Amino acid sequence: MANFIDRRLNPKDKSLGNRRRFLKRVRSHIKRAVDDSVRERGLTDVERGEKVSVPTKGIEEPVFRRDPKTGKREHVLSGNKQYIVGDKILKPGGGAGAGSGKEGSNSGEGEDEFVFALSRDEFIDLFFEDLELPDLIKHSIKEVQTYRPRRAGYSVSGSPNNINVLRTMRNSLGRRLALKRPDNKQIKELQAEVFKLEKVSRKTKKQQQELARLHAELEELLRRQRVIAFIDPLDVRYNYFEHAPEPNANAVMFCLMDTSASMGEREKDLAKRFFILLHLFLKRRYKKIDLVFVRHTHNAQEVDEEAFFYSRETGGTVVSTALKEMKHIIDERYPPYEWNIYAAQASDGENFAGDTDVCVELLKNEIMPVCQYYAYIEILEEAEAKLMEAEENGMELWRGYRTVKADWQNFAMKRISTPSDIYPVFRQLFAKKQAGAQQ
């Protein structure tokens, strides 16, 4: 007799650990592939999984193997059609090529790439790998809270629509068993017996006695059934809900960027990486995030992602136009009491003379009061970055923004000049803010 076992419900990812080890092994290659793919991807779909290919170097499994290019062999093959003994056949590729037969097929190290797909989580982990994300979530940002009922056990009181039928019936059954409440079946049987006896037209004395006894018994059972309720108020249980604070699920993220000619590919790429990070970070906390892209030269407009990152424009640089546009959009579509508003601004730090004061005024009086968080990053040439190591130095916009920073804790500003700056900067921006509301 065989033993049949259904294993289909067993956890299926038995190889997950091995898979993880393998990924670790080819980490550097995958990492490069991931970085490349991030550059090509849209901002919002960065969290998809990804197919990557890695060179077989570092993952070979060498064994002692016979070299097909040496020695003498005898192959046995099937399906002879016209050969007779002594026939000579030119080897494929001519000359000292690999012999036929199975040794040729698995010879040594292929140089072919090893292609496989990363899951979404693996992708994100790798993406953040040298960015050390883990602690980020713990650092909280001030959030608008809402309340939402959450299941929290059972209670003996509540409104009828919250009755928990299962619990109630379980209690009722227990009580009925304990108090020996007769069930309908018992009563029906008894009634049937009574009925049978009653049908007998001429009863013997014994039968009459029996009938009387049965009547009494039936009476008693019915009485018990009446007295002991099927469902007693004691049995009833209600689902209990607690009002748990929940972070407001809506957030909007403003991406503001200077797209004038001074922002080249490199600057845009850095900015994009920063925006991606911020977006991912927010996405882990909020159910729904709207993205608003505002680009500006000497005037600002809201555009889609494509245009934001890839189209070029010419014109001067007036930063305040972007801030005005943002304020305008907030007023129109994102009332601050319903939305968590985040903003990230990227710029090379240049601004039209005199405009900086306007910006500072706008930020201090209009924008910062409604914003959860405002991050300003200035993207510099590497050479410039060395020159302006100190916080105090900087161009007009930088100096202006420093006064905002002094007033507003949730305003942050940093400089970036290479991709490796991004995460450290990103973490500094988010790490040491108010350790307030924890969800």
Partner 1 sequence: MTKPKASKKVSKPLFEDADWNFDTLRRTYDAIEDIALNELELSVYPNQIEIISAEQMLDAYSSVGMPLMYAHWSYGKHFVANEIQYRKGLRGLAYEIVINSSPCISYNMEENTMAQQTLVMAHAAFGHNHFFKNNQQFLQWTDAEGILDYLNFAKSYITQCEERYGVAEVESVLDAAHALMSHGVFRYRRPQKLSLKAEEERRKERIAYEERMVHYLWDGLTSLAKAEPNDAQREAEKRKHTLHLPEENLLYFLEQYSPILHTWQREVLRIVRNIAQYFYPQRQTKVMNEGCACFVHYYITNRMHEKGQLTDGTMLEILHNHSNVITQPDFDEAHYGGFNPYALGFAMMEDIKRICLEPTEEDYAWFPEFAGNRDWKNTIKDAWANYRDESFITQFLSPHVIRKFRMFTLSDEARAAHVQVSDIHNEQGYINIREKLARTYDIAIMDPDIQVVDVDLLGDRCLKLQHLKRDGIALNNVERDKVLSHLRKLWGYDVAMEEVEAS
> What's the min distance (Å) between Cβ of 53 and partner 1?
10
> What's the min distance (Å) between Cβ of 23 and partner 1?
7
Cα atoms in the Cβ-side hemisphere of radius 13 Å centred on 51: 4
**151 vs 310: CA distance, rounded Å:** 48
**230 vs 225: CA distance, rounded Å:** 8
Q: Is 189 in the site for partner 1 (CB under 8 A)?
A: no
**230 vs 223: CA distance, rounded Å:** 13
Overall residue count recorded for the chain in this entry: 439
Q: Is 22 in the site for partner 1 (CB under 8 A)?
A: yes
> What's the min distance (Å) between Cβ of 438 and partner 1?
33
CB of 231 closer than 8 Å to CB of 166: no
Q: Is 111 in the site for partner 1 (CB under 8 A)?
A: no
Q: Is 119 in the site for partner 1 (CB under 8 A)?
A: no
Q: Is 112 in the site for partner 1 (CB under 8 A)?
A: no
Q: Which of 39, 40, 45, 90 binds partner 1 (CB under 8 A)?
A: 90
**288 vs 290: CA distance, rounded Å:** 7
Q: What is the DSSP letter of 148?
A: E
CB of 239 closer than 8 Å to CB of 159: no
Q: Is 76 in the site for partner 1 (CB under 8 A)?
A: yes
**269 vs 263: CA distance, rounded Å:** 10
Binding span for partner 1 by CB under 8 A among 75-83, 148-156, 229-237, 427-435: 75-83
Q: Is 86 in the site for partner 1 (CB under 8 A)?
A: yes
CB contact set of 222 (below 8 Å; sequence gap of 6+): 187
Q: Is 81 in the site for partner 1 (CB under 8 A)?
A: yes
> What's the min distance (Å) between Cβ of 412 and partner 1?
39
- The β-bridge relationship of strands 50-54 and 114-118 is antiparallel
CB of 52 closer than 8 Å to CB of 34: yes
> What's the min distance (Å) between Cβ of 132 and partner 1?
20
**Structure-block tokens of residue 423:** 């995460």
Q: Is 4 in the site for partner 1 (CB under 8 A)?
A: yes
Q: Which of 40, 89, 160, 205 binds partner 1 (CB under 8 A)?
A: 89
Q: Is 107 in the site for partner 1 (CB under 8 A)?
A: yes
What mask, x for binding partner 1 by CB under 8 A, covers residues 247 to 286? ----------------------------------------
Candidates 236, 215, 225, 232; CA nearest to 180 is: 225
> What's the min distance (Å) between Cβ of 82 and partner 1?
10
Binding span for partner 1 by CB under 8 A among 83-91, 176-184, 344-352, 367-375: 83-91
> What's the min distance (Å) between Cβ of 2 and partner 1?
4
Q: Which of residues 283-302 bind partner 1 (CB under 8 A)?
A: none
Binding span for partner 1 by CB under 8 A among 112-120, 141-149, 246-254, 354-362: 112-120
> What's the min distance (Å) between Cβ of 113 and partner 1?
12
**378 vs 345: CA distance, rounded Å:** 8
- Closer CB to partner 1, residue 84 or residue 390? 84
CB of 379 closer than 8 Å to CB of 276: no
Q: What is the DSSP letter of 232?
A: -
Residue 17 parent element (H or E): helix 16-25
**Structure-block tokens of residue 18:** 């091995």
Q: Which of residues 373-412 bind partner 1 (CB under 8 A)?
A: none
> What's the min distance (Å) between Cβ of 107 and partner 1?
7
Q: Which of 39, 40, 45, 95 binds partner 1 (CB under 8 A)?
A: 95
**34 vs 51: CA distance, rounded Å:** 9
What mask, x for binding partner 1 by CB under 8 A, covers residues 25 to 64? x---------------------------------xxxxxx
Whole-angstrom CA distances from 377 to 63, 137, 240, 249, 347 are: 53, 21, 48, 26, 7
Q: What is the DSSP letter of 162?
A: G
CA-atom Rg of the chain in angstroms? 38
> What's the min distance (Å) between Cβ of 55 and partner 1?
13
> What's the min distance (Å) between Cβ of 111 and partner 1?
12
Q: Which residues bind partner 1 (CB under 8 A)?
A: 1-8, 10, 12-15, 17-25, 59-81, 83-91, 94-96, 99-102, 105, 107-109, 114-117
